[in-house]
Structure formats: C-alpha cells, structure tokens
Amino acid sequence: MDDAGALRAELADQLLGDGVLHEPRWLKAFREVPRHEFLPRFYRRLPDGDWEAVTSEHPDWLGLVYSDRVWVTQFDGDDTVTGGTPTCSSSMPTIMAIMLEALDVRPGHRVLEVGTGTGYNAALLCHAVGSENVTTVDVDPNLSRRARERLHRNGFHPVCEAGDGALGHPGRAPFDRLLATCSVATVPPAWLEQTRPGGLVVTTLHRPIGAGLVRITSNGDGTGEGRVLAEDGRFMPLRAHARPPALAGTGTFDRRTTTLRFRTVADPASPFEFFAGTALPGVAAGRDMLAHPDGSWVRHHGSHVDQGGPRRLWDLAENAVAEWHDLGEPRRHDFGVSIAADGTFLTLGGRRWRL
C-alpha cells in the first residue's frame, strides 16, 4: 500500500472508531476515494492569523490532506488571492461522514448534491451509488469545471454543472436524496419539489446564532417534515443566503451588571446556543457582542453589559435562558423542522418559530 492509501485507511478507521461511520459502503468509499486528488492546493491558518498555501510540494501536504480537518480552497470567489472570506473548502471528513450516513442512500438511488466544491464529496457519492445516479451543482463555474476534471481523472462521471443550487436541477428530477454541502437560511422549496415523496433532504441551517444539521422527509410538493440532528455542523452558506456581519454598536447605551456569560449564548459548544438562535431571531454574534439589523446591540464586558438601540438584547437573552430552563433545557436534536407553503419553521412540542 502506498503512503496515500495507508493514510486513507487510517482516516477511515478513525471515522469508524469515532462512531461516525457505520455503513460498509461509506467505509469502503473513504478507504478508496483519494482525497488528495481533489486537494492539490489548499490553505491553512497560521498562529499569527495569516494564511499559508499548501501544495503537493509542501512536506506536510499528504498528511494534512488525510487529517480530519476542513481545508479552505478559495477566498472571496477568487482563486488567485490568499486570505479574505472563505468561499470554498473541503469539509471536515467527520461532518461529511455524518451527513452521508444521515442521507441513508441505497443502491439505485438518484442523488442531487448542491455545492460541488472540490468534487471530493461527489466522488464519495459516485463510489457508493454509481456515477450515473449522481448530479452535482455549484454556483461557481470555475469550481464546477475543475471538479469535473478531477472527477473524470479518477474514474467518476456524474452530471456536474454550474448553476444556482437553490433551484436544484429540474432536468434530472425527481431525486431520491438531496445533500447540500452548503448551509441555508431556509430550505429552498425547489429541493423538496424535486425530491420524491418519502425522499430525504440533508442540509445545514445557516442562522446567525445556532446552526444545525437537519434531515427532512419530502412530501414531493415543496413541503416536508424532519428533525435537527444531534451532531453539530457549520458550513459556508449558499451564496444567496449569506448574511452580512453584524455592525459595531454606536450611539447612546445603558449599562448594567450581569451574571450570564457571553459564551453561554453564542458558543457552539454551549447547550443553550441553538435555543438562543430561536429566541433571538435575526441576532448575530461577534466578539463579545450581539447585534440586530434594527440597530439594537449589546457589548459584553464580563461582569456588565452595555446595551443600545431600540431593544435590550441582553435582557432578551437572559429571559430566553429562563424559558429554556422551564422547557427542560432542550438541545438541538429536540427540535423538529417543518417546511410549509408559508415558510420554514423550527418546532418544539406545540410551538413553532419561523426561520
């Protein structure tokens, strides 16, 4: 076995040991599909915050490719720059495995992937269900072209096209499964219209606070029901669903003491964070700061907070913590997802919140 093959086997065994791989088809795919063929160049962040380009000439390239890490491959939609806002990456293999397992594909299933990126995930799908059953779409024609070339070079021949992923791919519908390797603020109706009744859509909710992987069973008419998965997942948003960063708060403000820690509200590791995104719709988090498009903001200073704008966001956050406790401290996997004609909703018990 060559070095790449040994590293692939080691990564696959790690995913198996961590309990994120169960299906033999996915274990075989991770052991046999060469990730390095789809990552000839990527970027890693250095301790000083700068980005370093890593290519096959780098002595650590192959070992880094087969580590369980996400690697940025593009900034600001431009392949010639180093640094900026990441707009394409090769996802962390653990998250890829979780989503592929959640997709529950079977032989002969027709699959649409939204977000081709490097093409590596499309290759895993082709390995599992056959290239003839896989369609993959990316908004960036350059990414789509390079992914197609890499897929063909490695023996995979899915339908690989450039286009707006929010529209799906009506020419190849209906699909049995749809996997979006980008996140969305709401689930596009086209995805559920193009997924047969009983078929599955797996994607990630993109919210300013509290993202989450979701799996939805389609009704075939643009509606569906599902759940938020227990596992966390954070993906780059579908470009049409990207949100601008929160602006720094300005103007007059009130100051008061607080015992609620900022990370309780905004840290992805906090069990409250997902509920916080539900209770504080539209509120985005920055460094020790929350802000809303209506101009409301709060800056957290540890023992006290400054609040400005028309609403007192930290008061709302503290009220949400009390409500969360009253509801039994629900976690992300306690929430359902409902897609109806009038929008996408999170559900918990008899309550629902519009996304």
pLDDT digits (tens, 9 = 90+) for 216-236: 999 999 999 999 998 877 665
Where does the pLDDT of residue 107 fall: very low under 50, low under 70, confident under 90, or very high at 90 and above? confident
Burial label for 34, CB within 10 Å (0-12, 13-18, 19+), is middle
Tell me: pLDDT of 349 over 60.
yes
Annotated active-site residue in 56, 67, 89, 91 = 91
pLDDT of residue 14: 97
Tell me: pLDDT of 137 over 90.
yes
| 77 phi-psi bin (left φ>0, alpha ψ -120 to 50, beta other) | left
Q: What type of residue is 150?
A: R
pLDDT of residue 238: 55
Element (H, E) at 159: strand 159-162
170-184 mean pLDDT: 94
Query: Residue 184, SS3?
Result: strand
Element (H, E) at 89: strand 86-90
Nearest 5°: the CA angle 134, 85, 112 is 10
Give whole-number Cα distances, 297 to 138, 248, 280, in Å: 36, 8, 12
By the 8 A CB rule, do 189 and 168 touch?
Answer: no
Annotation marks residue 338 as catalytic: no
pLDDT of residue 243: 53
- The predicted-structure confidence for 72-97, as pLDDT tens digits, reads as follows 998 888 777 788 888 888 999 999 99
Where does the pLDDT of residue 242 fall: very low under 50, low under 70, confident under 90, or very high at 90 and above? low
- The predicted-structure confidence for 256-295, as pLDDT tens digits, reads as follows 999 999 999 999 899 999 999 999 998 999 889 999 999 9
Q: What type of residue is 244?
A: P
- Give dist(CA 255, CA 108) in Å, integer: 61
- The predicted-structure confidence for 292-330, as pLDDT tens digits, reads as follows 999 999 999 999 999 999 999 999 999 999 999 999 999
- The predicted-structure confidence for 31-87, as pLDDT tens digits, reads as follows 999 999 999 999 999 998 889 999 999 999 999 999 999 999 988 887 777 888 888
- The predicted-structure confidence for 158-172, as pLDDT tens digits, reads as follows 999 999 999 999 999
pLDDT of residue 83: 80
Average pLDDT over the chain, rounded to an integer:
92
